[in-house]
Structures are given as structure tokens and as C-alpha cells.
Structure 1
Amino acid sequence: MITAPGGLPLAGHALDLMRRPLEFLSSLRDLGEVVGFRLGPSTAYLLTTPDAVREVQITQLAKFGKGGAVLDTARAVVGNGIATSDGPIHRRHRKMAQPAFHHSRMAGYTATMAALAEQRASSWLPGQEISMTYEMHMLKSAMLGRTLIATDADVTKVLSAALPELVAGLGRRVFLPLTWPHRLPLPMNRRYEAAQRELNDLVHRTITEYRATPGDRGDLLSMLVEARDDAGEGMTDDQLRDEIITMMFAGVATPAETAVWTFHALAAHPDVEKRVQAEVDEVLDGRTATYDDLKRLEYAKRVVAEALRHHPPAWLVSRRNTEDVVIAGERIPAGSDVFFSPYVLHHDPRSFPRPDEFDPDRWTPERAGESPRHAYIPFSTGFRKCVGDAFGQAEVLTTVAAVTARWRLRQVGEPEARCDLTYRLKDSVMRVEPR
């Protein structure tokens, strides 16, 4: 097996992964389908092709658990929810959660999302310079707060304050897996611990309230409280806690960062922006978007898909094999950390010609089949595909529609792209201009 060149005697390639992760992982793509690299004293493995990823996610799924540096770190906060659980627990909870994302519920969720997006966009002023990073995290926190927990006014406030601290803290823990630096009484560690306490307190308080007054309130949490498995059993309080916090991360951080990247792309490509504006005008004609409208915003959907190809928030995924496996002719011993990177796959010229070009039309029905299956995986693939992908896409599309109907956004300065737990713009400042 080919092993990545370079590395340090003790750290291996950990510093490369920390300092220049996208460049480092992309440099391994041409070395083979399975490439070894060292994380400290251990050898980890990067899968670089859609076929190799398919082995992990579909063909040999039973031999891989949800483990490795990324998921083990995330599990410390989100617990054993759908995103981090395996086996019978994952199958049980996925089946129980799926009705909460059924299209019959999406119309109500979308109406709430669209109204909040309109409210946020209408609060901006011509010439105002806004932090899109802040604005989108506030908006997605409000969207999730109103759809996940419909009765708690504190949700938006807690989510918008706590989640950025937790995402940053988890990112530090992925790349610096030693425990002692994170126990030091440093301001960043104290903020992380305070955010974790605040989020847990909110969730436990809300579960207690919902248990006391059961019934369908039209939100995600009430459906989870009422959900029953094939044996007629519901989730325990701890299981509900893990699923709620998982949804908070998935429903705020990822859509917020996708929206920021999308507006960044629109500002950089005025021709694309004009086509989105024309479509929004034609489809909505000044109305607030509905769930049925989202299906008709075909070009806007392609723009978001292309933004996700260029800048997948979930840029690195880890698994751990429970037994020896052979992928692309290479043996990977049991207990290994196995990685694949949606970013690396999405920028492979063998799958996406001119990968650095922003081309929404590569997602037209005529061209979408040009790329191999499993080459585009912003929401994962197979049985472990994100259960709430349609929910997240609705969050982004309602926001794009509300903003582009009123404004042109222009980038101010060059924001810093950062890879920690997610691939994001640290702070994207944009100037609001009337259309």
C-alpha cells in the first residue's frame, strides 16, 4: 500500500492535516484509491475514489462502525444520536425519526422557515455591511428553534450562542486529540464547557415539559416524544436528548454555512446571481415561498448543489472497521481509522471536469449523470445518508429566495476559510445593495 510521503517522527501527518487539511488530503488523491498516512504512531487510511467510498458506505457497511477521530469527538457532545450511532440503535432511531421529516410535515416547516427568512432579510438596510456568518447562524437558529421546539422562546438565543462555541471546540479536539490541553482553565475551554451546559440544560428542561403535556404540537420534538418502535416502546430521555442535540447541530451549523457559501458564490458570479433573481421573480412573483415553490426553483437548487460541491460543510468523515477488510485490493487491518473526504471527491477532475469552476448547470438532468455515483456526497450516501437532508435544503432555499428577491450582496474583503469540525467561512462580511 502507498503511504503518504513526509510526516514527523512522532506526530506523523497530524500537523499537515491540522495546518493545510484540504491541500494535504487532495495531494493524496493521485497516489491510489487507498492511501495510508500517519496520525501519531498509528496508520490511518484515506479512500480517494467513489468506488472505494461505496465499499465503506454500502457494500461492506456491516464491517464499518461510526468511529474515528471525527465521530468519536462529536459523540462527546451529541451523544449517541442518529449521526453517531450504529447497528440496532441507529436503525431503530432512524425509523422512528423519519416520519418527522415526511413531506406532509415539510409544508408547515417550510412556511415557518420562509417567514423567518423574509423577516430577517427585510431588517437589513441599503448600504449596510453585515456579517453573513452571524446573520445566517441567527436565522438558522431561529428556523430550527421554531420547527424543532415550537414552544420555547429561549431556543434561538441558546442555539445562536452555544453552537458556534461547540463547533469550534469540537474542531480543536479533532485535531488535538490529547485530553489535557482541553482541561486547562483557558477562556476558550470555559466557553466550550459553559455552552455545553447551557445546551444540555435547555434540552433536559424541554423534554420534561413535553413529557408533562404530551401531544403533537406540529414540531419535530413532539413527534420524537410520541414516536414508537415496532415493539411499542418510545425513546428514553437520554435518547431524546442525543437526537435533539444531533438535530440542533445538523439543522443550524450545516445549513448556515451552506447559505454563507452560496451567497459568497452569487456575489462572485453576477451572471449566476441574475439567473437566480429572474427565477425567484417568476416563480414567487413577490410571494413568500411555499414548500411546493421550492420544487420550481430549479436553478436556485442547482446553485445550492454546486455550492455544496465546492464547499461541503462535512468535509471529512471517519469510520472504524471492526474486522479486516480489503478495498481496491488493499488490506486494512481491523480497528483502523478510515477516512474519506467529500471535498476531495467533489474536486476530482475525473468525476467533475473543471472542478474549480462554479457551474450550476452541471446539475441539469442532462448532465447530472456524467459524474460517477457516490462522487457527490454532501449528505453522505447509502443507509447512512442524512435523514434530514430535505429539511436542510429547505432552510437554504427559503433563505436564498427571500434575500435575492430584495437584495444584491457584495463581498467586503476576503473572509478566512477554516476547516475544523466543518468547512466554513470564519466571518463573511457583505454589503447589502438594493436590486
Structure 2
Amino acid sequence: MKAISAAPAAPGTLPLLGHAVALLRNPLPFFASLPASGDLVQVRLGPQRVYVVCDPELTHQVLRDERTFDKGGLIFNRIREALGNGLGTCPHSEHRRQRRLTQPAFHPARLPGYARVMTEQISAVTGSWRDGRTVDVFPDMQAITARTLVATMIAGAALTDTAFTEMLEDLNRTQKGFYKRMFMPPPLDRLPVLGNRQYDRARARIRRNISSIIADYRASGTDHGDLLSTLLAARDPVASNGAGEGLSDTELIDQCTTFFFAGTETTASLLAWALHLVAHHPGIEEQLHAEADSVLAGGAATYDDLPRLEVTSRIITETLRLYPPGWLLTRTTTRDTRLGGHPLPAGATVAYSAYLIHHRADLYPDPERFDPDRWKNGRDATRPPRGTLLPFGEGARKCIGDVFATTEATLGLATIAARWRLEPVPGAQVRPSLGSILSPRGLHMRPTPRTSGDRAPR
């Protein structure tokens, strides 16, 4: 029987600050180093303790036991502050009802229609590229994913270009505020300094704009065939307080805000990192281009092409391993419990990191190497163990939009590969951005059209 003892502390604790300096300066190497200290490691943020799960089996336990390890803690509390109490942030007590009401919007039968919108937006944004003219990749990928979300979620809203740009700017300000505010104890988070004012204005304006769109939808009574229309029509036949209950306006605002944030930032980050990695691995780039030429012959990828885009799919999976967008998340214990033989009190913050698990050398040999063939059929002896890839979480709280996201990323990467070759700008310093989403900063590339002579016949 494993002895009961307190979880070990991570090395490098500073007086008063704890590990806050390491987490703000260089969090990824810090988290990747924690397994050397134990399966469950204490990290301090000032006076607060966070228990970081470093073992895959314990991570599964946390993700699957949502009654004991509920949504909450330092990160989720900040995300809930901005996005509200939607499907991704609500507590266990509300999750099943919200999942039943939102699931119809993500039914597999809707995916071909969503994919058509994705293809249109991918072609529109990348069609504006010019030979040799430097592009800032991440904002362009954001434009694709945000326009896709608008077209699939609120197609009847008829947003102007100005309103769309405003929503995207507010989204960026809010996302960047999550991680920093995790280190900002009250009352510092309420001081009227510029950063706090910008953050508060951005999150309030997003919710106000979505509220106005919902009011217009209710007033018109028109079914636009989009996600919001589906949510408005949804009824819960097993609601505890009355069959046929739907989502309130506040709940609709929370869901739409959550879907807009998650569906824009995470997929844009995934696509941008994939383009960056491919450009730095010529052999893999050659395989990707060969597949795009064979399957697409210069055309845009569609839903029907997905089964044949095997190389593209493996690249997306390996990118998710190296740069999982939601790289660090937290839960809170609802009762006194034990994890890995260590006692945890009720109300403790437990953090888990897909990045940490994905970069363990015992699970992924040579973990820093970009190797899409890890996921190739026929390599079962060297494939990573089942359940060690966690970019969308696991269990009942696994991301509802995981297939939506990977479909969009696969269509985007294949379409770009069929039409363009992206070259890194010499001297560009590409780094992960410090925030709740692991997005690339400084990713500038030069597109060169791939002519018909470069492609194999379809």
C-alpha cells in the first residue's frame, strides 16, 4: 500500500512569490520539468498552493472524476469571469443539462454543412495572399476561424466588417488577460489601471453584442439554420424543473461567448503551429504537398476529401501533441480526497497540463521532435500509449467541438498546401505567446504560389 504523504514541492520556490516568476517568464520548460519531482507536485503562487498532476494515470483520474475534481481553480475561475457559466466552465451540477441542450448543434449530421463554410472562409482569406508578400500567420488563421464561427453560429446577424473586427479585438484582449489575471489577487484585479480597464471593456462588449444578436433572433423568430437557432430551439425533456425547458438568455450568451472564444483561438493556434512546423521540416512538407496534389490537384479541400488526407491528419495530430492549445487547466476538489497517495483538502486547486503529458520522454520518445509518423497505421509497436494525447481533455467534460476543430484544421492545412508554399521569414523569432491558449507569436511567413506544373494530376 502506498504511504500517505504530502505532495512534494517543486524546486526553486522564492520567498513570498513562490514559483510565480518561473510561471510568468518561462512556463513551458518549468512545467515540463515537474515530473522529475513526482507524480503530484506542489507549486506556489504567493500564498496559494496548486497541485500539478504529472502522471498520465492520475490525469485520467482527475478528468474522469468530475464530481470530486470539478471545474474551477485559478484558471477556470478567470475564464468563467469572462465567458460566463457556459458548457466549458459550468460546474458538474449543471453540466449534463447544458450538454443535452447544446449537443444538437454539434450532431455529426451538421458537420458537412459546417465544412462547406470552413472551405469558403479558408479560400477567401488565403486567396488574398500575394506572392512573396509577408503575412502574419496567426491573425490570418484567426480571420478564418472567426469568420467560420460567425457564419456557422450567427449567420443571421449580418455583422459589418467593423463589428467583426471589434469582436476579434475584444476576443484577443480577453484571452490575453486570462493567464495574467491568474497571478493578480484581489484587489489588484479591480484597480482602474489601463490593462484592467481594457479587459473589462472587452469582455463586457462581447457579451453586449451577443445579447443584442440573441434579442434580434428571438424577435424575428426566424430559423437561420445556424448554431444559435439550434440553441434557441433546444428543449430539455428531462429537466428537473419542467420538461421542455430551454436555455435562458443569460445561458445563451454564455454558450455563444464560449463557442466563439474556443472555436476561434484554439483552431487558429493549431493551424498556425502546423504551418510553422511543416515549413521547418522539408521532408514532411514534401509529403504534405504530394498528398494535396494527389487528392486536391490545386482545389480547396472539402468534407468528402477528409478520408484521403491521411498525412495532413497526422500532421494535425502531432501538432496538437507538441502545442496543445489549452495547455494548462485547473480543477477544484469538492471534498477531502487523495490523489496518488497524497491527501488533498476540499477546495484545493489541481492543475493538469496536456503539454506536460505530451512532452514526457517515457511516453513520447524524443518528445521535442516533430514526427507525424508517430500516428501512422502499422506502427503499433511505436505508437504512443492510448490515452496519452489530451488536447481536448477526456471524460464527460471532453471538448464538445473537438471534431469541428480538427476538421477545420485539416481542411485548412490541405487547402493551403495545395495552393501555396509558405517560407519562414529569415531571422523571425517565433515563440509561444503567454496566455491561456498556446498560440505562436511573431510567426511571419512568405507565401509562394504552387503552379499547376508542381502538382500531380487528380
Q: Is TM (by shorter chain) over 0.5?
A: yes
Q: Does 1:27 align with 2:33?
A: yes
Q: Does 1:2 align with 2:5?
A: no
Give the equivalent residue in structure 1 for 2:184: 176
Give me the whole-angstrom Cα distance separating, in 2, the residues matched to 1:290 and 1:191: 39
Q: Does 1:99 align with 2:104?
A: yes
Structure 2 vs 1, CA of residues 197 and 334 (structure 1 numbering), >3 Å: closer, same or farther? closer
Structure 2 vs 1, CA of residues 181 and 227 (structure 1 numbering), >3 Å: closer, same or farther? closer
Give the equivalent residue in structure 1 for 2:20: 14
Q: Is this contact kept in 1: 2:337–2:345, CA < 8 A?
A: yes
Residues 173-202 of structure 1: CA deviation (Å, up to 9, x unaligned): 12333442553231x333323322321121
Q: Is this contact kept in 2: 1:214–1:226, CA < 8 A?
A: no
Choose the corresponding residue for 2:171, options 158, 163, 167.
Answer: 163
Q: Please list, as runs of the form range in 1=range in 2, the aligned pairs for 1:173-322 lying within 5 A after superposition.
A: 173-181=181-189, 183-186=191-194, 188-230=195-237, 231-322=243-334
Q: Please list, as runs of the form range in 1=range in 2, the aligned pairs for 1:415-426 lying within 5 A after superposition.
A: 415-426=430-441
Choose the corresponding residue for 2:443, options 418, 428, 433.
Answer: 428
TM-score normalised to structure 1 length:
0.96
Residues 305-358 of structure 1: CA deviation (Å, up to 9, x unaligned): 111111111110100001122222121222111011111100001111111111
Give me the whole-angstrom Cα distance separating, in 2, the residues matched to 1:368 and 1:49: 22
Q: Identify unmatched segments of 5+ residues in structure 2.
A: 1-6, 238-242, 451-458
Residues 53-104 of structure 1: CA deviation (Å, up to 9, x unaligned): 011111x331111011110000011000011012231111111111111121
Q: Does 1:143 align with 2:148?
A: yes
Q: Is this contact kept in 2: 1:215–1:226, CA < 8 A?
A: no
TM superposition shift of 1:366: 3.1
**Aligned-pair Cα RMSD in Å:** 1.6
Give me the whole-angstrom Cα distance separating, in 2, the residues matched to 1:61 and 1:196: 28
Give me the whole-angstrom Cα distance separating, in 2, the residues matched to 1:227 and 1:296: 35
Counterpart residue type for residue 72 of structure 1 = N
Q: Is this contact kept in 2: 1:277–1:405, CA < 8 A?
A: yes
Give the equivalent residue in structure 1 for 2:456: none
Give the equivalent residue in structure 2 for 1:394: 407
Give me the whole-angstrom Cα distance separating, in 1, the residues matched to 2:380 and 2:103: 27
Q: Is this contact kept in 2: 1:125–1:432, CA < 8 A?
A: yes
Structure 2 vs 1, CA of residues 328 and 426 (structure 1 numbering), >3 Å: closer, same or farther? same
Give me the whole-angstrom Cα distance separating, in 2, the residues matched to 1:390 and 1:66: 22
TM superposition shift of 1:376: 0.8
Give me the whole-angstrom Cα distance separating, in 1, the residues matched to 2:153 and 2:232: 12
TM superposition shift of 1:254: 0.4
Give the secondary structure class of the aligned counterpart of 1:224: helix
Structure 1 stretch 92-101 or stretch 370-379: which is displaced more?
Answer: 370-379
Give me the whole-angstrom Cα distance separating, in 1, the residues matched to 2:233 and 2:121: 27
Structure 1 stretch 18-27 or stretch 383-392: which is displaced more?
Answer: 18-27
TM superposition shift of 1:368: 6.0
Q: Is this contact kept in 2: 1:53–1:374, CA < 8 A?
A: no
TM superposition shift of 1:3: 1.3
Give me the whole-angstrom Cα distance separating, in 2, the residues matched to 1:137 and 1:182: 29
Give the secondary structure class of the aligned counterpart of 2:67: helix
Give the secondary structure class of the aligned counterpart of 2:236: coil
Counterpart residue type for residue 335 of structure 1 = G
Q: Is this contact kept in 2: 1:259–1:400, CA < 8 A?
A: yes
Structure 2 vs 1, CA of residues 181 and 63 (structure 1 numbering), >3 Å: closer, same or farther? closer
Give the equivalent residue in structure 1 for 2:123: 118
Structure 2 vs 1, CA of residues 198 and 368 (structure 1 numbering), >3 Å: closer, same or farther? farther
Counterpart residue type for residue 67 of structure 1 = G
Structure 2 vs 1, CA of residues 232 and 305 (structure 1 numbering), >3 Å: closer, same or farther? same
Counterpart residue type for residue 31 of structure 1 = S
Task: Detail structure 1 runs of 4+ shifted over 4 Å in the superposition.
Answer: none
Q: Is this contact kept in 1: 2:138–2:269, CA < 8 A?
A: yes
Give me the whole-angstrom Cα distance separating, in 2, the residues matched to 1:391 and 1:151: 20
Give the secondary structure class of the aligned counterpart of 1:335: coil
Q: Identify unmatched segments of 5+ residues in structure 1.
A: none
Counterpart residue type for residue 290 of structure 1 = T
Give the secondary structure class of the aligned counterpart of 1:46: strand
Structure 1 stretch 285-294 or stretch 176-185: which is displaced more?
Answer: 176-185
Q: Does 1:129 align with 2:134?
A: yes
Q: Is this contact kept in 1: 2:20–2:183, CA < 8 A?
A: yes
Give me the whole-angstrom Cα distance separating, in 2, the residues matched to 1:181 and 1:397: 39
Q: Is this contact kept in 1: 2:278–2:285, CA < 8 A?
A: yes
Structure 2 vs 1, CA of residues 81 and 46 (structure 1 numbering), >3 Å: closer, same or farther? same
TM superposition shift of 1:272: 1.0
Choose the corresponding residue for 2:397, options 372, 384, 409.
Answer: 384
Counterpart residue type for residue 414 of structure 1 = Q
Aligned residues: 433
Counterpart residue type for residue 199 of structure 2 = Y
Give the secondary structure class of the aligned counterpart of 2:156: coil
Q: Is this contact kept in 1: 2:18–2:46, CA < 8 A?
A: yes
